[in-house]
Structure 1
Amino acid sequence: MTGADGRRGRPRAFDVEAALERAVEVFWRHGYEGASLAQLTTAMGINRPSMYAAFGSKEELFRRAVAHYAEVDMAYAREALEQPTAYDVARAFLHANAEALTRPDRPAGCLSVQGGLAAGADDGRAAAFLAQSRLRGERALAERFARAVDEGDLSAATDPADLARFVMAVSEGHAVHAAAGVDRASLQASADIALRAIEHA
């Protein structure tokens, strides 16, 4: 990369994806407000100038970390949408979600829920950003359930948006319970109760 003066800029001395992975964990454990710049830069193995040069601000770093989390840690949600029936979609999503919330190599719970529960100096922008992110997932489910209605897989009386909201409410409730220490088997058991409701809806 060449600057305006014709000199070649110094190459970035760290792996951006690896740094984002570490930032994800800090935001996940402490939330957007609770994660300090010192914690973030220490975990990422960089100094503040490097962080600002690469990501611009703490808020932008958070947005990039959430995007990384959605791409990597929530890949199961996209895979669930490919299941052949609406019931299979819900089952794959809720069971994979329960596993993701209780992975031993990750903080308990979900970054998209825990990351922005407390609003602070950012005037709630982080919480609003995460809420919009969750709504995108809900809309994707609703679109898949609408297709199931069109295909006759779900009753014509089923409201796809209501069903998607129910599934997401279960998964988000599980995230809160997982963060409080509820184990995987218990989350799977409540997922099965929700699935019985879906099956007979």
Structure 2
Amino acid sequence: MKDKKLDRACQEDMVMQKGHPDGCLLVQGALASGPVTDPIRIELNRRRAAAESAVRRRFERAITEGELPASVDPAKLARYFITVIWGLSVQATGGATRAQLKEVAEMAMRSWPKQP
């Protein structure tokens, strides 16, 4: 929570960096797959679930440390922001501009729980 600006900058760079494949392998890798790639899809699903769990645990810690209000449901908040972040990756791959992605990120951040 204290490194919000750094985290935000890293996320922006991850989805908009030139000279690298578009989007995120974790997100894009299994969107259009068939039975032959089931093992890959299963592994990517496992990794996405692990990423969401890591974010949830960080939010739980933020509640314990007083960075987030106790009324916050860390699982729901993690699911919401993971969905936004991965959705930004999909939009970036589809050609969204940095300005469009920034608008979405700013809208999502307006829903961030207020400090206790």
Counterpart code for 1:182:
A
- Tell me the amino acid that sits aligned with residue 84 of structure 1: K
State how far apart, in whole Å, the 2-side matches of 1:138 and 1:187 are: 21
Letter paired with 2:101: L
Secondary structure of 1:104's aligned partner: coil
Q: Quote how far apart the aligned CAs of 1:200 are.
A: 4.0
Where does 1:75-90 land on structure 2 (aligned, <5 Å)? 84=2, 88=4
Compute the RMSD of aligned alpha carbons.
2.0
Whether contact under 8 Å (2:69, 2:113) holds in the other structure is no
Structure 2 partner of 1:134: 48
Scaled by the length of structure 1, what TM-score is found? 0.52
CA distance in 1, matches of 2:87, 2:112: 17
Unaligned regions of 5+ residues in structure 2, if any? none
Distance 2:6 2:42 in 1: 27
Deviation at 1:94, TM superposition (A): 4.2
Whether contact under 8 Å (2:68, 2:114) holds in the other structure is no
Q: Give the distance between the partners of 1:169 and 1:94, measured in 2 at CA.
A: 15
- Report if the CA contact (8 A) 2:27-2:89 is conserved: yes
Question: Aligned with 2:52: secondary structure?
Answer: helix
Is 1:112 matched up with 2:30?
no
CA contact (8 A) 1:95 1:188 kept: no
Which blocks of at least 5 consecutive residues in structure 1 are unaligned? Answer: 1-82
Change (3 A) 1:95 1:193: farther
Distance apart, 1:183 and its partner CA: 1.6
Aligned equivalents of 2:54, 2:62: Cα separation in 1:
13
Give 1 or 2 for the bigger CA radius of gyration. 1
Q: Bigger relative contact order, structure 1 or 2, given CA contacts below 8 A and separation 6+?
A: 2
What does 1:17-56 align with in structure 2 at a 5 Å threshold?
A: none
Could you tell me whether the CA contact under 8 Å between 2:26 and 2:48 is conserved in 1? yes
Counterpart of 2:39 in structure 1: which amino acid? R
Quick one: distance in 2 between partners of 1:143 and 1:153?
Answer: 13
The CA deviation at 1:92 is: 4.0
Corresponding residue for residue 93 of structure 2: 179
* Post-superposition CA distance 1:20-53 (Å, at most 9, x none): xxxxxxxxxxxxxxxxxxxxxxxxxxxxxxxxxx
Give yes or no for contact 1:108–1:181 (8 Å, CA) kept in 2.
Answer: no
Distance, in Å, in 2 between the alignment partners of 1:196 and 1:156 is: 19
1:132 Cα offset (Å): 1.1
